[in-house]
Amino acid sequence: MHTLSNIHQVAAFTSNGQGGNPAGVLVAATLPDDATMQRLATELGYSETVFAAPADAGGWRVRYFAPDGEVPFCGHATIALGAVLARQEGGGVFALATNHAHITVEGAVDGDTATAALQSPPTASTPAPPALTQAALALFGYRADDLDARIAPALANGGASHLVLALASRERLRAMRYELAAGRDLMRAHGLATIALVHAESAQRFHARNPFASGGVYEDPATGAAAAALAGTLRDIGWPHGGAIDIVQGEDMGTPSLLHVTMSDVAGSSVRVAGAVRWLDAASGSGAALPA
């Protein structure tokens, strides 16, 4: 019987031992049925819960559920899963099969601390349609001159689809507000996991906010899938990333988070998204056996 007591609760992409984005992690001998996974994710209420079971061909079969439905990929839940697997199986690299891709997550545990790094699905980006850009600006009450002209609006994917909007000022990012129902309608109509609002403090340091209305969540404090999508976008436009960027997220929610992304210059290739975690309950660090 799968219950909330079986679910590890882990905050991913913490900053100096604080903040991070909470995720549920259920590692089981077999995946529960869809209705059970959706019920548990909804009851837990985190932006995503990841479900993992040993795959017949080796590695782990994983699926991700938000309170309002299944999502194709979730970065912060993958980081949380990497930490849980490292605690239970020993540190190392774990092969994961999602609904649409084969990826890996590397986990390491040292006493009460843990880190993990995911290798994303392939990345891709295209210019955002002007009508979608205008609709998104209207949603947040932004104007075209609020945008950073160096980073054009883009539809980007690193395992899930995101609209990337770069703002010219940190203040406009801090002022982000929107109506949840309107945001949900817009994101679902265009197949968006989130809208990634970012500000470039420097070439290698970004601030981000990620409305996740499509999953029934107003805002994520750390979003690994959007980080991968942003990195792919920056690479595609020739941004001087120097091989790595740091993304500061969650500050405006009082939940500081830090994501470190490394990438090559190979178009479309996977990127590495890494961060620290903290255990939110005793079970998460216990190394408990797989539930049935």
Burial class, 93, CB count within 10 angstroms (exposed 0-12 / middle 13-18 / buried 19+): middle
| Tokens 């349609």, residue located | 129
User: What gap in Å lies between CA 26 and CA 190, rounded to an integer?
Assistant: 30
User: What gap in Å lies between CA 98 and CA 159, rounded to an integer?
Assistant: 9
Question: Of 48, 106, 219, 251, which is the active-site residue?
Answer: 48
* Active site (annotated) includes residue 48: yes
Of 151, 212, 202, give the one whose Cα is nearest residue 178: 212
User: What gap in Å lies between CA 72 and CA 180, rounded to an integer?
Assistant: 21
User: What gap in Å lies between CA 166 and CA 150, rounded to an integer?
Assistant: 8
User: What gap in Å lies between CA 231 and CA 239, rounded to an integer?
Assistant: 9
Residues constituting the chain: 292
User: What gap in Å lies between CA 122 and CA 102, rounded to an integer?
Assistant: 10
- Burial per residue of 240-271, b for 16 or more beta-carbon CB atoms within 10 angstroms, e otherwise: ebeeebebbbbbbbebbbbbbbebeeeeeebb
Within 8 A by CB and 6+ apart from 234, the residues are 151, 241, 245
Of 63, 19, 14, 11, give the one whose Cα is nearest residue 37: 63
* Catalytically active residues, by annotation: 48
